[in-house]
Structure 1
Amino acid sequence: MSSRTSFLALVVAGLCWGTGGVLGRELGAVADASALTVAACRLVFGGLLLLALHLARRGRMPRGARAWRGIAALAVLAAAYQGCYFGAVSLGDVGMATLLALGSAPLFVLLIEALRDRRMPGALALARAVLAVAGLALLIGTVAPGEQDVTSVLLALASGLAFAFFTVVGKHAVAGVSPMAVPAFAFTGGGVLLALLALPAGGLAFAATPTSVTLLIALAAVPTALAYGLFFAGLAGSSSATASIVALLEPLTATALSVVLYDETLGPLQWVGAALLLVSIGLSALDRDRGSVRQPTVV
């Protein structure tokens, strides 16, 4: 896959992710399910859908202890960033939790890669990360830090750190393995872990109606199976830092859907934030060629 196609795959993945908030919100309301249950269902059924597609295409199974170690690590990391995020949301402000989780991920990726490679990030990488965080802050809006529950803040940062490792380890894990096979096994495993955590809240049980089942299928198919299949395909030809920046298309898309579906309006600063996010993603496009040839070292 060329660097341009890889970047396009990441962009489409980010756009698909943006539908997850609306679908998850509607599923939780219609099925009377907790946020953790929705997250567990998303990973389990999304992972199983990817696995079915992979087997239908007669795709090769991952081979070797190295590949399975990577998949096991991704399963734990997927459960961690989903679980920590929804835990942060349940204890604090949704906007601040989203800002800290998504906004910190590109910065954590830069830190992880700087420590791994023993060199400072380039000026372009730093610029796009700063623009991305600033744009996300303006788009979501913030509240006074003093009003936040400390546990919520720590969980949101833990979610961002887990997603950063998920992105870096994911790039390493897809080497020589089908991009569809990696999230198929990782998400199924991560979903099972979340389901165990969700047991006190009913596990994967929810009110099954034609509407809730349709929403579950859509949640598993679009922002999970399709999005992460494209994400891992794009990782093969892009840098981890680029992938973490492009992932910020998720809140941008979710905001656009909220404007269309829920008649929400954006203020001037939110429009500025959206523009900054787009500029940051544009800068990532300029860096895609370097990401396509740079091979990761062992994480």
Structure 2
Amino acid sequence: MKVIPITIIILWLICLIQITNPIIPKGLKRMFTGPKLAPAYRTNDIDKLVQYIMNEADVIKIAAYNRLKELYRNKSRNEQMNYLVPFMQSAIEVVKSHGANNSLMGIKHTYLDAIYYTYKCLKGEKNAKERARCYKWRALFLAACFFSNKIKQCFFIRHSFNSAYREAIKIYTDDKMLKYARIKIACKVKLAVQGRNIISKSLISLYLGSTSKQQQLDCPSRLLEFEESIRNYESYTEEFYYLVGQSFAKNGYKEKALEYFKKGRKFPIIDQKGRYISQQLQKSIENIYTC
């Protein structure tokens, strides 16, 4: 039997890919490689890529994020460390996008990216302040995951968040981003439990680890401490107003809830996450007017 040399097989495969590449549907390509920025926008400017991710529609966000990862992979170990903040900011926005689009695979991939990146950050740093910075961005990313996942996954995310938060807050004692993320999660847990029957409350408490201290938390007043500078901590300001409105509504203050739900409707919708929040705000307003 004649054996075909391996080099011939490799060359044949390369030719086959080149020939069939133009006829492979674009959607099928994206399923394996993800969307890419068009050549005119395929920049090496990190700040510009982050702006695409923060301010553009979902497919553009993910394409810019893929470009950022490509640049990261081609950098040296020392250069990669300079990517921590833009990379984690981007991962936070991308995981929100995947959550709004119910893309569990997207959430998983972005989660693994971010956890691996912060792991490398911690592994390479001995300085306490720099390590705290790694933990800070891990905590902020996990907070974003908490709001992009199903309730069972939230159990694991919440405990991972608490662990990263404890390490970060040792150095960043007055960091508003960290404090807002913690209050936001605590209020999310409280809203999940509040008003439920005893069986539902027990199940949710089991998953989310709700405590009596969280149940005593005055969510509207604690959240509103961040209102004036909320754009510094929350990329979807409408989500902040939705959470405040929910907190007022659960406490029976329907007029105050209505006020904050309406504030949340004023923001432009550019992606599926914004569209989802807008729909929830509208439903909440309708429930107040019609119940």
What TM-score results when the alignment is normalised by the length of structure 1?
0.26
Report which structure shows greater RCO (CA 8 Å, sep ≥6): 1
Query: Which structure would you say has the larger Rg?
Result: 2
